[in-house]
Structure 1
């Protein structure tokens, strides 16, 4: 079970999990009906999963967005389930959230830029709108199921950190994504190709806002719960690497990962890199766009053989399209998901086989 946190490179991890599920014919706990998330931002309930009543605890993977609720997740996932998640430095995360959710979050909407917001966040952030404003403060804390407006109390924070350690066997760090993939590979005894990825749901550099040094320090206070969460698990992340892999071996395997990734990009991509939304030729591969961000995507080479084409397509399918595709594969008798995208039927615009 992967707890998919927000703005933490988690869409790339989801793609890895979906490809793994397809490779080994595993069953994914997908959002029910027309949902694209597992009830988020509501606290997760088992009935948010498609056919939970019929399938019970026979799902192998759960990785779409949800707000963690361990008792309900355990109704869906087997007792021996491996739980992991990913965190990001809250300084970078808040800036990313600000740009991505600019149009949707009341606290962000009326401020000029992220630095203006951080100069006086309570001027824009109203507790009455907390369900709409969760992206503006301690979003990782919220995703793990806790109160993102809770008081920064040492005893409370220690209790939460201990509970997260009890619920999750592994916490990855997106700021060290390649290192995280190697640690995941070792922990789950996977092969290198199981953790190969193309970065998904990233944005163009021209939409990144520059934080002032004062703003960076303010984030540590404004998002103090997330900051302490990150510091704690960043420390345990590196401790675990040193104890299980070693820094020399880690460096060697990261280099192998990057070499393999480069090879696959040369095989698959006509541009050898991600491109802006206006330059994506096949709109079936257009990621969902939000706020002021220009979410990047990919163009595949022409004339790839069928097997290579399938591999490359799965590497670049955006999250919503892949969720919809898997839903149709797993639940062919159900109505297809209608996505908030120019194209809602991924199969019709690609050469992927349409499920029966």
Structure 2
């Protein structure tokens, strides 16, 4: 090394530049550089993700060229399938865009044990108003729904693993009193064939709740539960034609991203808090054999679940092909980030329903709810109960109906 360079390094490092010192220096420099690059990369990714999230919130829409914005949406709300969370998304959409609900004069059901008929809406004092959003519990009747809403209506529903759905229904609806057995004993009777067929096929609460609840909600008569598999398959194929999308509760993030994609919505529109979730201590655990026995008894629901899980797989594949590989995973990360922001901004604490009051109070103390920051205006709409929402819509629609002639042609709502 030239003398001038040697003197310069000695002066810079405070002494002779030895091989040992140089090695230590290079190690320290290398480690420091690694952490700098790693930290910068993580920071850069975070910034890019924030920018991407902001671009979505600021109005970017679906990449689906076939998506169709619509103010006519029919959601078949099935029991105990995370449907309250979906309903809340639709309530917020209806408030945001000033849309009308399919709403009966009272209560929160459009039909109960009977199939839906449009008269449950038309006979209300706001029955002459156009209907935009169909989302309350009923028994699905495609023809009547389209007669009410119009042929351009986007139709969808949600289903769940039938074993978990029935367990949730059994506990939530107190079916142990109706069947005279707690849930585990009921399932074990099925497992060991120690039951009366007529007894276990009975339906509780005026014929509303029981075996194959998802299929029942979707319009299948209990008399057809034990049809030959081919006939059941044909019924499921008709459902597939009636619904443009079937969400899967266990795959909620994927399902909601697809919903937004179909409707040309930004992901912000499907942000949510999980609503009406049971308290953890209310859950019942079954063995794998018990689950298999129950799934066999829930024969139609099991067929439904398998068919539409496969259908969702195909939707996800098409979604990725239309964009790029792993696009769904990227969108799921963004949706999680958006949902985390909702929780950080809005939620004080997750508590049992008995600790809630007013607009946040639901009808059962077996479920969890949220204490919400009241000083952030939009937050309450993420956690507001169904009864509170229906009060808002009934008041607004009654006011609109009072000043709207029955032969009025609508160009805008509210």
State the secondary structure of the residue aligned to 1:83.
strand
1:61 aligns with 2:133: yes
State the secondary structure of the residue aligned to 1:236.
helix
Distance 1:67 1:195 in 2: 25
1:136 aligns with 2:210: yes
1:250 aligns with 2:328: yes
Distance 2:232 2:162 in 1: 16
1:295 aligns with 2:401: no
| Corresponding residue of 2:281 | 206
| Corresponding residue of 2:351 | 275
Does the 8 Å CA contact 2:272/2:342 hold for their aligned counterparts?
no
CA offsets 1:19-73 (integer angstroms, 9 cap, x no match): 101111111111x222311022221111111556975582111010110112221
| Corresponding residue of 2:158 | 86
| Corresponding residue of 1:74 | 146
Give 1:127 deviation, angstroms.
4.6
Does the 8 Å CA contact 2:187/2:293 hold for their aligned counterparts?
yes
Give 1:171 deviation, angstroms.
0.6
Give 1:129 deviation, angstroms.
4.5
C-alpha distance 54-96 of structure 1, shift in aligned 2 (>3 A): closer
TM-score by length of 2: 0.72
Give 1:319 deviation, angstroms.
1.7
Q: CA RMSD in A?
A: 2.4
Does the 8 Å CA contact 2:282/2:366 hold for their aligned counterparts?
yes
Distance 1:299 1:224 in 2: 40
Does the 8 Å CA contact 2:203/2:210 hold for their aligned counterparts?
no
| Corresponding residue of 2:95 | 22
- Alignment partner for residue 384 of structure 2, among 308, 317, 332? 317
CA offsets 1:306-352 (integer angstroms, 9 cap, x no match): xx32x111110112221222122212489xxxxxxxxxxxxxxxxxx
TM-score by length of 1: 0.84
Does the 8 Å CA contact 2:113/2:207 hold for their aligned counterparts?
no
Q: How many residues align?
A: 321
C-alpha distance 25-115 of structure 1, shift in aligned 2 (>3 A): same
CA offsets 1:98-126 (integer angstroms, 9 cap, x no match): 1101158723xx10x21211122544835
State the secondary structure of the residue aligned to 1:45.
coil
1:156 aligns with 2:228: no
| Corresponding residue of 2:85 | 12
Distance 1:28 1:193 in 2: 21
Give 1:95 deviation, angstroms.
1.0
State the secondary structure of the residue aligned to 2:369.
coil
1:223 aligns with 2:330: no
Query: Higher helix fraction: Structure 1 or Structure 2?
Result: 2
Distance 1:312 1:54 in 2: 29
| Corresponding residue of 1:189 | 264
State the secondary structure of the residue aligned to 1:241.
helix
Does the 8 Å CA contact 1:57/1:75 hold for their aligned counterparts?
no
Does the 8 Å CA contact 2:201/2:211 hold for their aligned counterparts?
no
CA offsets 1:271-306 (integer angstroms, 9 cap, x no match): 2xx2112333x34311110xxx6211111125x1xx
Does the 8 Å CA contact 1:59/1:78 hold for their aligned counterparts?
no
> Greater CA deviation, 186-195 or 49-58?
49-58
* Consecutive unaligned residues in structure 2, runs of 5 or more: 1-73, 402-413
Query: Greater CA radius of gyration, 1 or 2?
Result: 2
| Corresponding residue of 1:337 | none
Distance 2:379 2:306 in 1: 36
C-alpha distance 21-129 of structure 1, shift in aligned 2 (>3 A): closer
Does the 8 Å CA contact 1:16/1:197 hold for their aligned counterparts?
yes
1:102 aligns with 2:178: no
Distance 1:135 1:128 in 2: 9
Distance 2:214 2:354 in 1: 31
C-alpha distance 19-175 of structure 1, shift in aligned 2 (>3 A): same
Distance 2:131 2:305 in 1: 30
C-alpha distance 134-68 of structure 1, shift in aligned 2 (>3 A): same
| Corresponding residue of 1:329 | 396
* Consecutive unaligned residues in structure 1, runs of 5 or more: 335-355
| Corresponding residue of 2:56 | none
